[in-house]
Amino acid sequence: MPLSRVKPEHYNTLLAEKVERVSALFRPFSAPEPEVFPSPPEGFRMRAEFRVWHEGDALDYVMFRPEDRKTPVPLAEFPIACSRIQLLMPALMQRLRCEPLLRRKLFQVEFLGTLAGDTLVTLVYHRRLEDDWEQAATELASELDISIVGRSRKQKRVIGRDFVREKLPIDGRSYHYRQYEQAFTQPNASVNIAMIEWACRQARDLGGDLLELYCGNGNFTLPLSTCFGQVVATELSKTSVRAARENLDANGIDNIEIIRLAAEEVAQAMRGEREFRRLAQLPKPLAEYDLRTVFVDPPRAGLDQYTVQMVSEFPAVLYISCNPHTLADNLLTLGETHRVEQFAMFDQFPYTDHMECGVLLRRKQ
């Protein structure tokens, strides 16, 4: 996203235009008027990554315009980043410019912050990192009060921790999350809170047990567990599964089972087409759960046809989508069996064309 599009004084107008475009996409499905959740106009991103440009003694964070991928645009500021990252960026760059061990063949810098104030910086290199690099990075981490991960080809060095700790206030309760470096997390923390609280409101009266696909580190799973008897949550990424299990323990939640399965594999298991040894970890067979609701938060490609078919067999479907177009495609099938009862938009990515959406689908009588 070009920073030239970041105009906080025009945010409300830009949001209204985006809401109208997305609303038009869902009118064929008789969706109700959407509940719209805006973002803070500035300081909303908890993640940021930049190429590092070397020009003689100069060293700068740079981005590239979509129409010109060869000409670097140096960044003097990055107003959409959270305040901690905004303060850290110039301090880190000043230190990197003065330390040959840290700047040599440095290719990229990645920031990961939290509302809780924890910050991790990943430095990506086109060279092998030796012990002298680790000593210099350790001094830098101490000076800036951050953790540092150094990466190069087939190499990872960790100074401090390779994760950050987050604390999100959800419906009067604080949930603690461990978010690992290079694992997926929601980039806009305030909108993420709105998304979780909206999902919990829709789930409150659904009853029974919950099946969740693409659970990640348990971002939605933990708060949603208060609305159901039992939760079976699935995720393919090993790092995310580990984080989710650690987050269950950290929050003292005991009605969730995390299973490492892809969504397609869950669909096969639900249809009885395959047996998976990993499902033996459940305290009882999957068929014995009272699974009345399925919650999905898929990648941009949406649900594949087999998963859509499996999801369509549930009385209630809670669907969070980062791509309205693939959600609309999925609704072409799901709309045959379900109606859109609730509809929401979450401006996770201000000043872009992207809009996060949420729908509650109920089976038609």
Provide the pairing of β-strand 68-74 with 58-65. antiparallel
Type of residue found at 263: A
DSSP string, 205-245: TT-SEEEEES-TTTTTHHHHGGGSS-EEEE---HHHHHHHH
Q: Specify whether 356 is catalytic.
A: yes
Residues 6 or more apart whose CB falls under 8 angstroms from that of 255 comprise 225, 228, 229, 230, 231
Contact yes or no for 111/47 (Cβ under 8 A): yes
- Helix extents (H) in the chain: 11-26, 83-97, 100-103, 131-144, 189-203, 221-224, 238-251, 263-270, 305-311, 324-334
Q: Specify whether 200 is catalytic.
A: no
Q: Which residues pair with 169 in a beta bridge?
A: 174
Nearest to 108 by CA among 41, 163, 59, 40: 59
CB-based burial label for 60 (10 Å; 0-12, 13-18, 19+): middle
Nearest to 340 by CA among 314, 358, 322, 313: 358
Contact yes or no for 8/29 (Cβ under 8 A): no
Catalytic residue among 82, 200, 227, 322: 322
SS3 279: helix
Catalytic residue among 215, 235, 356, 357: 356
Contact yes or no for 147/162 (Cβ under 8 A): yes
Contact yes or no for 134/159 (Cβ under 8 A): yes
Catalytic residues: 322, 356
